[in-house]
Amino acid sequence: MFIELSSRQLSQYVDACAVFDALDAAEQRAAKFRGTMFVRTVGARNYLIRRDTRGQQRSIGPITEENQSAAQKFTAEKAAIEERVKQLRSELDIHRKLNRSLRVGRAPSIMVRALQALKDAGVDRHFLVVGTHALFAYEQRAGVLFPGDALATQDVDLLLDTRKRAQFLAQLDKVDMSLVDLLRRADKTFELKQGDLCTLVNASGFEIDVIRRMATDKDEHPMRATAHEDDIGPVQVATGDKLLGAARYEQIVVASTGEMARMHTIAPRDYARVKRELGKRKDRDPLKARKDLLQADLIEKLVLEYLPDQRD
């Protein structure tokens, strides 16, 4: 039922993940050094000024031996971490090519680029991949391939956690973008689907569905993802609260192109439970129900055979 990756493929994945994680850590550290420091003369006094990437400035205070030393340290550390980021990006590009040539992963490249776009904007943890595409994380973790019919789909479901909406909006405000604009970084041809404001579709027919839990008294309803009038409007799903309450799970996934991104989803055992419950609902579309039960069976078997740390 499962096709195991070769030892060469597994070794390449482990090596690529190590570089990916190192770059992630370096970029997080580099973010603390964004902007510049410089000296401004006001009257007869010199002041140390910190300017951020948006051009905003704040005074550190009059030049002293102590803050001058701090400024020199800032400049040196900024140069060092920027050089490290540059080197790691170059190394990761080598691994991207190796991933592709060795067929380490097969996740859709558009999905991987979308996940990376969310990460680059600092909002990736506000979303969970909860549909069929979550299976790419599970098979990557187990080092196997699922049968093709289990993964057949042209849309990815992103569950927006509306419980932390204020934090989400504050982060997107920093980059001054709507969610639609942000996802267009993955593919500029994404457009809102006509008559369906919760779905983006690109020129190849690939869709991104943004969903949310059922609205409560504390939730805005109806809502757009951001205050932008032309932004996507997440649709309510009955399983939203159950999915948000599931154990979190993350895994680096690899696209058929070799590109990589970190996927945030739910633990496989919880995924199987939700899918089995959906598949048994009398109001569920028969074709979807059949696929739900197939996926539940596959994940349960995967956990039993390859993921002992995920067993109850």
Position 217 confidence tier, pLDDT thresholds 50, 70, 90: confident
Residue 57 near residue 123, CB atoms below 8 Å: no
Whether 137 contacts 263, CB under 8 Å: yes
More confident residue, 237 or 48: 237
CA–CA separation, 200 vs 109, rounded Å?
A: 16
Give the mean model confidence (pLDDT) for residues 98-105: 98
Listed range (81-95, 149-163, 252-266) with the worst mean pLDDT = 149-163
Task: Take residue 87 and report the two structure tokens written for it.
Answer: 């080197």
* Average pLDDT estimate for 288-309: 94
Higher-confidence residue of 283 and 175: namely 283
What integer is the mean pLDDT of 245-262?
97
**Predicted pLDDT of residue 55:** 67
Q: How many other C-beta atoms can be found within 10 angstroms of the C-beta atom of residue 262?
A: 20
- Is the pLDDT reported for residue 93 higher than 70? yes
What are the domain boundaries of the chain?
7-102, 105-310
pLDDT at 181 over 90: yes
pLDDT value at 57 more than 80: no
pLDDT above 90 as % of the chain:
71
pLDDT digits (tens, 9 = 90+) for 273-289: 999 999 999 999 999 99
Structure confidence at residue 53 (pLDDT): 67
Token pair, residue 51, equals 């300017």
Mean pLDDT of the 216-239 span: 87
Residue 44: what are its φ and ψ, rounded to 5°?
A: -100, 5
Confidence bin at 201 (pLDDT 50/70/90): very high
Tokens (6 digits) for 5: 């990756």
CA 116 to chain centre: 5
User: Quick one: average pLDDT of 246-272?
Assistant: 97
Which residues are CB-contacts of 146 (< 8 A; sequence separation ≥ 6)?
2, 135, 139, 298, 302
Say what the pLDDT of residue 88 is.
Answer: 98
- Average the pLDDT over each of 85-99, 151-165, 211-225, 275-289 and give the range with the smallest value: 211-225
Q: Are 146 and 168 in contact (CB under 8 A)?
A: no
Name the DSSP letter for residue 212.
E
Give residue 67's pLDDT: 74
68 or 187: whose pLDDT is higher?
187
Kindly report the pTM of this predicted structure.
Answer: 0.89
Q: Quote the Cα angle for 203-209-210, to 5°.
A: 130
pLDDT tens for 10-56 read 999 999 999 999 999 999 999 887 777 777 767 667 777 777 766 67
Q: What is the mean pLDDT of residues 218-227?
A: 83
Q: Give the helix, strand, coil percentages of the chain, each rounded to 5.
A: 50, 20, 30
Average pLDDT, the chain: 91
Residue 106 has pLDDT above 90, yes or no: yes
Tell me the average pLDDT across 139-149: 92
**What is the predicted pLDDT for the residue at 91?**
98
Phi, psi of 50 (to 5 degrees): -110, 125
H-type alpha helices, the chain: 7-31, 65-102, 109-120, 135-142, 165-175, 179-183, 240-244, 268-279, 286-306
